[in-house]
Structure 1
Amino acid sequence: MDDSANLSPQIEQAFGPQGLGILTVKGVPGYPALRRRLLLLAERLAALPADITQRLEDPDSLWNIGWSRGREALADGQLDVHKASFYANPLLDCPDADAIAAARFPSYCRPNLWPDEELPELRAAFRDLGVLIISVGLLLAGHCDRYAAARAAALLANPEGHTLGKADAGAEGDWCGWHRDHGSLTGLTAALFVRRGQEVAAPDARAGLHVRDRGGRVVRAALPADHLAFQMGEAMQVQSGGLLQATPHCVRAAGGPSAAGVARNAFAVFMQPRWDEPLEAPAGAAAEQVGIPRWRPGLTFGEFAELTVRDYYQPAAPAKEDVTG
């Protein structure tokens, strides 16, 4: 991605009022090999004994560091037991936060937890792919900034000129229910499907990542294996005054006999402001333009994020169902 190029037409096509809310980048050097390297490790991570994964849990971070399974609440209030997640900061093993910030924002200031003895390859594979995705995301964020700045005057002059999207609940999102990410940008890999350690084809053409555009149309986002995808988060929606809107999305589970024993492995990098950074809309932007009910002027990103995280996570007994994706 050329930082000097004018990508406003592509930003408009992907994230503008008529856009689907997702953009892909191809031709990133080294990406295909790093993607495969990490996603093949996911099955081994999920197969670690329960006493090891329990050691990798961090309830103080509301399960935003380390192992998380059966902790996220879906739109209907049920706990999501159909997938397992592993969270870490690919840039810093221990964020630079004082004791007050660490206590106030534990979801972002807790140290990473790694299974170094049981799966020593994971740390480097996770970091290498995460850093690459962030480097591309930073370039994209710069293009989004320039697009938003160029459109800001027109947006403020015509506050009814766009339609706010809705992330309605839906029964079809049975691996990961309908939601919006609350950061700035989310970088996504295409999923890799594995059965007994071997890569296999996607078992169900109707399953996978689905997004909803501003008109309410639901589309399956079929990502090529060598493409990086990026979605907008709510922080970017606030900071653009609603011009760039967070992408409602879900992951639908595969069905049918061919899906038996197949794991869906994917990697997402959530890029966001620092926890102490004010989360402000452009001057003159009205709350209805911003379109995020949890946001109000004066919040830092950390405060906004904690409001969000506590809606998704709650203490619960460990889930007992098998991991299917």
Structure 2
Amino acid sequence: MERAQAETATVMQPYELSYSDLVLLSSPPSSPSSSSEAELQRLDSIRRSVMEALGPAGPGLLCVRDVAEASALRRKLLPLSRRLALLDPERRRRILQAHQLGTDVPKKDPYRSVSSFAMQLRYAQGAELAQSKAISNMNSLDSEMDNLNLDITMEFQDKEFDHLGFFFKKLGSLMMELGLGLARICDGAIGGHELEQSLVESCAAKGRLIHYHSRAENLVLKQDGRRLGSKQGIAKQKKVDDHAFCNGREPQPIPQKKTNGGEGKSCGSNSNLWQQWHYDYGIFTVLTAPMFLSPAFPPELNSDRETSVASVEEGPYPDGLTYLQILNPIRNGILTVKTSPESFIIQVGEAANVLSRGKLRSSLHCVRRPPKVDNVSRETFVVFLQPAWSKTLSLSDYPMDQLSYPEVATDNICLTEQKRTQLIDEIQKTVPPLFLRLKDGMTFAEFSRETTKQYYGGSGLQSNRLSDL
């Protein structure tokens, strides 16, 4: 399956929206005399391009570039995810507690492929304040960074965690503003204020700093687990609902299916996917472009494990790709996203799909391990923008043909197309379609619970199948 997926994937460069244009398009309309006809036409063209990228025929995502100071924050925050994931558990607990962060790292699971660290991020005073501070925050960030007097180079010492909470909140606030701005642009094109109001009414978003473990790291964790005698604990451990952290909700233990071997392993532990195929079920998911880290020295030179954890360096993207993949059944293909390390990626979630009455398209996606690269980890920071848990989702005026997967024609296609079609069909069998999870009048909380149940519950489609994809 790994080779088939690699052969059928196509590189895609998403539509790029500059930050300055996002601010212009999401600001209150100015008087006609203040803008030239050419400028108005340019902005109208950009608005159409945004809706095409996020609409039913598009990939369901776009990129935002040229966000001031984002690069410095990204370089400061993202490497900390690997450091936290591989720290001694007790030391990690103290650091996270000091910065009011939570974690879903299973203490006795060396087979985990992903570790994440979460914080609730609150909107300051609604959309008006977020909009008015969009530029002022950017201008003040530079002086705040100077006051911290931190060297921009990657130094892994205890003091590197001193400003973990600051970087987390600052970058998270910036990304929330990007999501609010995009919601206003979409509302303007669709009509009304449904998306923006739904975000503001939720009062908060969930930020997650995510580390995707390299295969080499997993070997070290397994060896440590054996030395600590935790093998028995691993076998007894309940499987964690990892779909929850993909969508910003705190994971909970879920019932484990029985397997022939009698031992439940974490979903995807031996998979070529870091993160399994799924939809985000919020409104927007805002992600930093990923960072790939590799050891600065050959492993055999690092006899001390703490030194090995610390001695890493940022490397180029493997094959120049982010290894975020999306499925576009309308165009009958799997697309691997290619974008600049300095940009942000914004994906449409299923709640936006419903609230926009099908005008926006949620993207089915996964994160794939680069083939034949065992010693590279992947770091990213994600902010999940969701409606309030009590928000009611209505299917009135929603195009019913979008509730299930479109049929993919199989007649008169070449062998390569046939492989692609078979792969798409196999992926869709592991992801429950929207109409099975969403009933008219459900609250967002009910939709979230039903979605998680159908992905990972006792009879969930992904409980055992996804490790084979």
Match of 1:301 in 2: 444
Does 1:265 find its partner at 2:379?
A: yes
Output the CA distance in 1 between the equivalents of 2:87 and 2:322.
26
Output the CA distance in 2 between the equivalents of 1:55 and 1:229.
32
- How far residue 54 of structure 1 moved from its aligned partner, in angstroms, is 7.0
- In the TM superposition, structure 1's runs of 4+ consecutive aligned residues that sit over 6 Å from their partners are 54-57
Match of 1:249 in 2: 365
Match of 1:66 among 80, 93, 102: 102
Match of 1:213 among 303, 325, 328: 328
Q: Tell me: CA distance 1:118–1:36, structure 2 relative to 1, closer, same or farther (3 Å).
A: closer
For 1:112-145, what per-residue CA distance to the aligned partner results, in whole angstroms no more than 9, with x for missing partners? xxxx999342211111111101101101011112
Contact 2:51 2:360 in 1 (8 A): no
Q: Which protein has the bigger helix share? A: 2
Match of 1:278 in 2: 392
Match of 2:113 in 1: 82
Instruction: State the number of aligned residues.
Output: 257
Match of 1:197 among 312, 329, 349: 312
Output the CA distance in 1 between the equivalents of 2:162 and 2:452.
29
Contact 2:321 2:337 in 1 (8 A): no
- How far residue 197 of structure 1 moved from its aligned partner, in angstroms, is 3.0
Instruction: Answer with 132-141 or 117-126: which moved more.
Output: 117-126
Give me the TM-score of the superposition, normalised by structure 1. 0.69
Output the CA distance in 1 between the equivalents of 2:403 and 2:455.
22
Contact 1:172 1:252 in 2 (8 A): no
Output the CA distance in 2 between the equivalents of 1:27 and 1:139.
15
Match of 2:51 in 1: 12
Output the CA distance in 2 between the equivalents of 1:174 and 1:188.
18
1:20 is paired with a residue whose SS is coil
Match of 2:346 in 1: 230
Task: Write the letter of the residue equivalent to 2:383.
Answer: V
Match of 1:33 in 2: 72
Task: Write the letter of the residue equivalent to 1:182.
Answer: Y
Give me the TM-score of the superposition, normalised by structure 2. 0.49
Match of 1:105 in 2: none
For 1:177-200, what per-residue CA distance to the aligned partner results, in whole angstroms no more than 9, with x for missing partners? 111100000111111112233211
- How far residue 87 of structure 1 moved from its aligned partner, in angstroms, is 2.1
Does 1:131 find its partner at 2:163?
A: no
Instruction: Answer with 21-30 or 10-19: which moved more.
Output: 10-19
Contact 1:178 1:248 in 2 (8 A): yes
- How far residue 206 of structure 1 moved from its aligned partner, in angstroms, is 6.2
- How far residue 172 of structure 1 moved from its aligned partner, in angstroms, is 7.7
Output the CA distance in 2 between the equivalents of 1:123 and 1:309.
29
Output the CA distance in 1 between the equivalents of 2:280 and 2:80.
25
Q: Tell me: CA distance 1:208–1:175, structure 2 relative to 1, closer, same or farther (3 Å).
A: same
Task: Write the letter of the residue equivalent to 2:338.
Answer: A
Q: Tell me: CA distance 1:29–1:276, structure 2 relative to 1, closer, same or farther (3 Å).
A: same
- How far residue 207 of structure 1 moved from its aligned partner, in angstroms, is 6.5
Output the CA distance in 2 between the equivalents of 1:132 and 1:266.
15
Output the CA distance in 1 between the equivalents of 2:360 and 2:277.
19
Output the CA distance in 1 between the equivalents of 2:122 and 2:324.
26
Contact 1:207 1:254 in 2 (8 A): no
Larger radius of gyration: 2
Match of 2:182 among 140, 159, 163: 140
Unaligned ranges ≥5, structure 1: 58-64, 72-78, 93-115, 151-169, 316-325
2:48 is paired with a residue whose SS is helix
Task: Write the letter of the residue equivalent to 2:174.
Answer: L
Q: Tell me: CA distance 1:275–1:119, structure 2 relative to 1, closer, same or farther (3 Å).
A: same
> Residues 110-189 of structure 1: matches in 2 within 5 Å?
119-149=161-191, 174-189=273-288
- How far residue 237 of structure 1 moved from its aligned partner, in angstroms, is 0.8
1:229 is paired with a residue whose SS is strand
- How far residue 299 of structure 1 moved from its aligned partner, in angstroms, is 1.4
Output the CA distance in 2 between the equivalents of 1:231 and 1:173.
23
Contact 1:238 1:290 in 2 (8 A): no
Output the CA distance in 1 between the equivalents of 2:317 and 2:104.
24
Output the CA distance in 2 between the equivalents of 1:128 and 1:307.
33
Task: Write the letter of the residue equivalent to 1:245.
Answer: R
Match of 2:87 in 1: 48
Unaligned ranges ≥5, structure 2: 1-21, 30-42, 124-157, 193-267, 295-310, 405-433, 459-469
Task: Write the letter of the residue equivalent to 2:398.
Answer: A
Give me the identity figure in percent: 32
